[in-house]
Amino acid sequence: MSLLSRSLFAAVSLVSLASCGPDRNVFAPACPDVRFVQPLADLTRFRPGGGQDITDLVLQGRMQSVSGKCEYGETKDQLQTTVTVTLALQRGVAMQGRTADVAAFVAVTDGDVVRDKHVYSLHMEFPPNIERTSFTSPPIDITLPISPTKSGAAYGIIAGFQLSPEELAINRRQATR
């Protein structure tokens, strides 16, 4: 291969490599803060009409993690965010059967205001001889509006259990102990 051929080959290779990857001067977008709400991260469910000791415990749950990632959407005024929620459940001695239904939510906040909220019903089945199980949600896609003056960092994404008033009261009592 002549010197001219090698130089031409090198120049063509560099041009083709330069076209790989993101455009120049394009940075990753600012993403929302993703977290669970601490008072809503635990679930303690007792048998209806029973007491609130270990013999009346039906189900306990805990949010283990909420994770997210984001990228620019199809247009420059959209941010595509994907969130997953992982939770763990444990059967209580008062649980009848091997299935449980729990509700969890994912919400978008803008400052202190909840802009959008979706509640997801989760049906959990405990395999035979297993008292604890964990579950990671399928990816939850959220499209957020952005602009030159409002980035994805202006938003928050929060998650928690959708608790009944009684379940929330239990969490509040346990928090003061």
Please provide the average confidence, as pLDDT, over all residues in the chain: 87
Give the separation between CA 125 and CA 61, rounded to whole angstroms: 14
Q: Which DSSP string do the residues of 54-118 spell out, in sequence order?
A: GGGEEEEEEEEEEEEEEEE-SSTTEEEEEEEEEEEEEE-TT--SSEEEEEEEEEEEETTEEEEEE
Domain borders along the chain are: 27-175
Match 């957020």 to its residue by tokens. 144
pLDDT for 10: 45
Match 């089945």 to its residue by tokens. 125
pLDDT for 5: 46
Lowest-confidence region among 5-9, 45-49, 79-83: 5-9
Positive or negative, the CA dihedral 157, 163, 166, 167 is negative
Token pair listed for 24: 């120049």
Task: Check pLDDT > 70 for residue 134.
Answer: yes
Q: How confident is the model at residue 21 (pLDDT cuts 50, 70, 90)?
A: very low
Q: How confident is the model at residue 175 (pLDDT cuts 50, 70, 90)?
A: confident
Phi-psi region of 154 (alpha: psi -120 to 50; beta: other; left: phi over 0): alpha
Task: Check pLDDT > 70 for residue 75.
Answer: yes
Mean pLDDT of 61-90: 95
Token pair listed for 66: 């909420």
Nearest one of 85, 57, 86 to 167, comparing CA atoms: 57
User: If you classify domain 27-175 with CATH, what class do you get?
Assistant: mainly beta
pTM of the complete model: 0.80
